[in-house]
Structure 1
């Protein structure tokens, strides 16, 4: 997630030069967007040449999940749809949540002509379990083949919450090829063989092209080719849109609300999804140090912010409200806890609350207007990646807002590598980032990622992704309980959501800013079938996987 964000937010320096070289150099001859009327040209934010790697389990994979290698089902994280069949056709749990039975399609085959069977699924899941580098969620099930189209997975304890990850984010690979790979988590896959709707056609460092799989079990897609291009950043992406040379990108463009006017033939869609926050190294017991380890300071920052102004100045009003319990206000409205002090973070500053929190914590305001305690000023440093223009504006805006509340905030622009290392090791006071969603439209996954003691570590050691070092026994117990409850039993789950949300609001290790609007621009005059506000059948981010493959399957050349 963070790697993708870093690429999509970079601002190019030599955008116009790179744009000309890339799009003319990889042109397929005629037509718009450098690739003809049947080719969609996509820009994911890739800055610099591609390094070939189509291993769907590699952190440096450039594509493959969803397009070449398929999951068993597609989970739409943008809205609460039923899982859509891909390689699987049906699944069911036993009442205890210890056995997951999956029915597979019988008409799929690998792009080398071999038949797809349950052996491939069982092999893939066993490979994930045996390789820590591929097993990012701690999958511990045991898959057995019932027959050619049925697989059963057993667990030692109730594991309902593992379902979406297994079914929607496990990329099934061919046993007859991958069983011969000695280090599957490290292999650089140059000639991928999958069951998906697309195959690799051409790879060049400046661009690679996928072509429709003529033997796809769902029929060859109407969208015949997808070309992914490398540019130099946001500015070159905007330039390419302006000249009609790319068809789909996800990222900021100037005056985003008037895309149809500024980019004739194009439309834009903004989906609230990832929640922007000031991450804090919060836990002194795990080695964090600084004023931000005091919950009163974190909550004072929360109340001192003017989110309405922040949205206007940093995000072109594309962001939306956020809940301090980190359930999405729109998608998850039914589980936002009524026990929260603020079901929605205040959009306007509440200076009196901020002042009261600091004064009760022993802070007094100095002659310079800045609070201090024990002779030390309330001064904080926030790390932000150089080139993340919206986040830099956000931090500078927040600094001015907090100054009025007696808190000194200093922005520190650093490289992505330095920022990422500091975030992982806890070598920061504050940094700006976003909390990403999980494999299904359920806040459980975000909580299990960012608030579980299992995903953190002492300062100096690598935490992933509980970067705040937050630990709370009640939250951990609630997460364990949720894992064992059928997701359909919403009444039984809500008390645990209440516990998690109220505890994290009380501690506030991630200080909520706004729910970030993920904006995509696409060529509606060249292709029809794009997601819309009325038909949000997939999260419409070009870098989303397998979401982008679901979009590709819906698109048709406009005639």
Structure 2
């Protein structure tokens, strides 16, 4: 399961608590209940998954269970929940040349791997070469050539402007030691004894639990949180019980009475961050084989107008969701990038059935005797694909069914397994599918647009699309995306006109119908540790399963006692 859907599921209402599975970084106690900490400097974490651990601390493996950010570091810390400059880690500074074809990285001096060997530029070059050579790892499309210039400088050259690769190379590439990894298959080999440069090393590991121990030789100084202990419980109900007992310190997920964490769970506080923009994905492009009423842009706009988002937030998402822009630029960190020509910039919380009716009737749809619109003998009936057990989304569809019926649109849910749902989406064999659109490595909507709108990322119905599941294709959008690849993202004057072009087409065509921005809620033990992220100081995404953000939180925390 992707991080995207993982965080979406964790925002569900307490009334719809389910046991989540497939989350990264899990652990368990042999009794199935949380064990209280014996030390003021031990942080007990619950990620939401039950079951035994399968040891693997290979940061490049899809079966990795932990260590990203804590054991293995990137060159810089980059997050998409704020617009701060990249934070130096193994790298001290970086610079692009004028046309974006060369990236020079100055490295930190005096860093050692946890086995005592020195960290050098050769390790960075080795990691980048490994990324380039193994297609299964290279999801970002890295094609550069890296060279070490001494022990503390790396120069990466590209054949074409590659500014947009920077955040992933600098902030999402986990550097590994050449002296230990020369004979390792990074995609498949299991790493049982990880060696990294990070603030923690692997402590005890059992099939039921594991701990991370502060690295006393860490280049940034050993963190005040001396031990991180990962638990697995029987489900989110057990997690809520553990919060009541004060026996876990950080979890991300639904609990009863989420509207007042501090009041209902003494010693704790809650924080909800809106990152996942929920949408009704439409198979929109008839040229690539899509069929059904949703291929009409008028239908897509009418659906968007008919949604009562305030009611939907209350009934399906326990009021943890927030506003969404039809441009799918976040209304928080990306609000300055929303085109001034787009109106409204934020979708209304109240429905506008008159606007929906006007749009449909202007496109030739006529309401039948049953109150549902039809055109050319085709009833305006739409089926939404959803995963069985995703109770928040199922409730959302049930709610929208009633809302859209009032606007003359029939909506029906089709539940299926994760695998079947995924297969339908990727092959375009659906009318609508409810899901969230993922953010990129930084607070820049380019990455969402490239993934979900670029013609290069889609395919004909029946063939698997990479990320553009709507089958959207627009030459003006493709041209704007190509220009953005060659522009330094820091040049706002140059990038905004291209974003304006993309957003204007996106809003007009609406291949993804905006619902709400989903919130991810975490509960943190403020009576035991200080330094947690807050809305006023969102230095990292405060979800326990979010790596490497969780490592930045571990480093920032201080025990209240001890």
Q: TM-score range by the shorter chain?
A: over 0.9
- Check the 8 A contact 2:47/2:544 in 1, yes or no: yes
Provide the secondary structure at the position in 1 that maps to 2:502.
Answer: helix
Give the whole-Å Cα distance in 1 for the aligned partners of 2:237 and 2:475. Answer: 46
Return the match for 1:554 from 553, 556, 559.
556
Provide the secondary structure at the position in 1 that maps to 2:503.
Answer: helix
TM-superposed deviation, 1:137: 1.0
The more displaced of 83-92 and 374-383 is: 374-383
Give the whole-Å Cα distance in 2 for the aligned partners of 1:7 and 1:519. Answer: 9
| 2:140 is the counterpart of 1:137 | yes
TM-superposed deviation, 1:27: 8.5
TM-superposed deviation, 1:88: 0.3
The equivalent of 1:18 in structure 2 is none
Give the whole-Å Cα distance in 2 for the aligned partners of 1:234 and 1:510. Answer: 31
The equivalences for 1:41-440 within 5 A come to 41-181=44-184, 183-440=185-442
TM-superposed deviation, 1:7: 7.9
Give the whole-Å Cα distance in 1 for the aligned partners of 2:477 and 2:242. Answer: 47
Give the whole-Å Cα distance in 2 for the aligned partners of 1:328 and 1:434. Answer: 13
TM-superposed deviation, 1:34: 4.8
Distance 1:59 1:24, change over 3 A: closer
The equivalent of 1:5 in structure 2 is 5
Provide the secondary structure at the position in 1 that maps to 2:95.
Answer: strand
The equivalent of 2:495 in structure 1 is 493
- Check the 8 A contact 1:27/1:35 in 2, yes or no: no
Give the whole-Å Cα distance in 2 for the aligned partners of 1:79 and 1:225. Answer: 28
Unaligned runs of 5+ in 2: 11-16, 22-26
Deviations 1:238-290 (A, max 9, x none): 23322323211112223212001111111011122111111112222222222
Deviations 1:436-455 (A, max 9, x none): 21111111111122222222
Give the whole-Å Cα distance in 1 for the aligned partners of 2:62 and 2:19. Answer: 26
The equivalent of 1:476 in structure 2 is 478
Give the whole-Å Cα distance in 2 for the aligned partners of 1:4 and 1:224. Answer: 30
Deviations 1:296-341 (A, max 9, x none): 1111110110111111212222211111111111211211101113
The equivalent of 1:462 in structure 2 is 464
- Check the 8 A contact 2:19/2:48 in 1, yes or no: no
- Check the 8 A contact 1:42/1:226 in 2, yes or no: yes
The total of aligned residue pairs comes to 550
Give the whole-Å Cα distance in 2 for the aligned partners of 1:268 and 1:257. Answer: 9
Unaligned runs of 5+ in 1: 16-20
Deviations 1:426-484 (A, max 9, x none): 22221211112111111111112222222222223322322222111111111111111
The more displaced of 366-375 and 386-395 is: 386-395
Distance 1:12 1:207, change over 3 A: farther
| 2:36 is the counterpart of 1:33 | yes
Provide the secondary structure at the position in 2 that maps to 1:173.
Answer: coil
The equivalent of 1:533 in structure 2 is 535
- Check the 8 A contact 1:255/1:316 in 2, yes or no: no
Provide the secondary structure at the position in 2 that maps to 1:41.
Answer: strand
The more displaced of 322-331 and 37-46 is: 37-46
Distance 1:488 1:22, change over 3 A: closer
Give the whole-Å Cα distance in 2 for the aligned partners of 1:140 and 1:99. Answer: 12
Give the whole-Å Cα distance in 2 for the aligned partners of 1:265 and 1:445. Answer: 38
Give the whole-Å Cα distance in 2 for the aligned partners of 1:490 and 1:455. Answer: 25
Tell me the TM-score normalised to structure 1 length: 0.94
Give the whole-Å Cα distance in 2 for the aligned partners of 1:400 and 1:515. Answer: 21
The equivalent of 2:450 in structure 1 is 448
